Amino acid sequence: MQMKLAFIGENSLDGVESDSRLAAENGFDGIEYNFWGDFRTLTMDTVKQMAAIHQKYGTKAAMLGTWGYNHLASDPAEREEAARLLERQIEYAQVLRADWIVTSCGQIHGEPAGASIRAFAEHFGPVMEKVEKAGLKIAFYALHGHSFLDSIATLERAWEAVPDMKLKYDPANWATHGQDYIDLVRRYGHKVGYVHIKDRMVHDGRAICEPPAGMGDICFPKIMAFLYQHNYDGYLSIEPHGHTWGRGELRRKNILLSKRYLEPMLI
């Protein structure tokens, strides 16, 4: 087994078409799709059209993600909607032949982290079993979008309660949050299920750019070293992010330059 390269695709059918062509022509292993509030309006018909485009180009979905849904919300209606949409996410991911789904672990706002951890363990135990039976894997993102995972210390507490919980690891996000992203993967690379690749450049104490991997301040060689030490064999999913490198022709260059940078570190 070895690490695989993917990138975050655009959600429109035209975007799926152009990204599938890009993936096929450049040897990517998958395309990732992420939805925020717009997931509510995503239909099975559209998902089937996405899958047909993948089949046309011989590509596939690496991951289907939903962001911003609070599975532990105090409001029962909000909690029920999140659960309903997660069921839909599982169904759509199967149609897309995705390997992974990613979502929020949820958060009980105004309460200490321990309350969220206990609720997460109770709620997601059966969910994780359902995901596995569906032939999928699930990882959870940290730091934003209704996630109580706001530090390495909180992650450690969550893993005590749910040892099988996998993390969607984004080193740039952890660096922006002031956390030691190298120490996280050094100590807990075996807990990483899915990896986002984006760089960040800091100047005069502020982030000014999110260029292709290897052109900013994130130390990807160290990250890769620890991923290998932990026998990580999942996706490295390039995230063309920001107003400059996340749009138009620079988005395409970001994806291809990042791939070229990462490839010498892959076997």
Q: Concatenate the DSSP letters of all residues of 157-224 into one string.
A: HHHHH-TTPPEEE-HHHHHHTT--HHHHHHHHGGGEEEEEE---EEETTEEEE--STTSSS--HHHHH
pTM above 0.75, yes or no: yes
Judging by DSSP bridges, how do beta strands 206-209 and 201-203 pair with one another? antiparallel
Give the pLDDT of residue 36.
96
| Helix pair 220-229, 248-262: axis angle to 10 deg | 50
What band does 1 get if pLDDT is binned at 50, 70 and 90? low
- For 77, other C-beta atoms within 10 Å of its C-beta total 8
Range of the domain at 204: 4-265
pLDDT at position 60, please?
Answer: 95
Question: How far lies 58's CA from each of 23, 63, 168, 171, 237, in Å?
Answer: 9, 16, 26, 30, 18
What's the whole-number average pLDDT of the chain? 97
Does the pLDDT value for residue 82 go beyond 80? yes
Q: 68 and 37 in contact (C-beta within 8 Å)?
A: yes
| pLDDT per position as a tens digit, 158-206 | 999 999 999 999 999 999 999 999 999 999 999 999 999 999 999 998 9
Residues 55-74: pLDDT tens digits?
A: 999 999 999 999 999 999 99
- Residue 260's closest CA among 56, 26, 79? 26
| Count of domains for the chain | 1
Residue appearing with tokens 């894997």: 137
Give the model's pLDDT for residue 171: 98
**67: helix, strand or coil:** coil
| Burial (CB count within 10 angstroms: exposed 0-12, middle 13-18, buried 19+), residue 83 | middle
pLDDT of residue 151 exceeding 70:
yes
Specify the pLDDT at position 232.
Answer: 98
| Domain CATH code at residue 225 | 3.20.20.150
Residues 6+ apart with CB under 8 A from 4: 29, 30, 62, 233, 234, 235, 236
**Percent of the chain predicted with pLDDT > 90:** 97
Q: Are 192 and 169 in contact (CB under 8 A)?
A: yes
Burial state string for 133-155 with b = 16 or more CB within 10 A and e = fewer than 16: eeebbbbbbbeebbbbbebbebb
HSE on the CB side for 9, CA within 13 Å?
A: 32
**Mean of pLDDT values over 205-234:** 96
- Cα separation, 259 vs 215, in Å, equals 12
Distance CA 2, CA 11 (A): 27
Query: What average pLDDT score do residues 110-126 get?
Result: 96
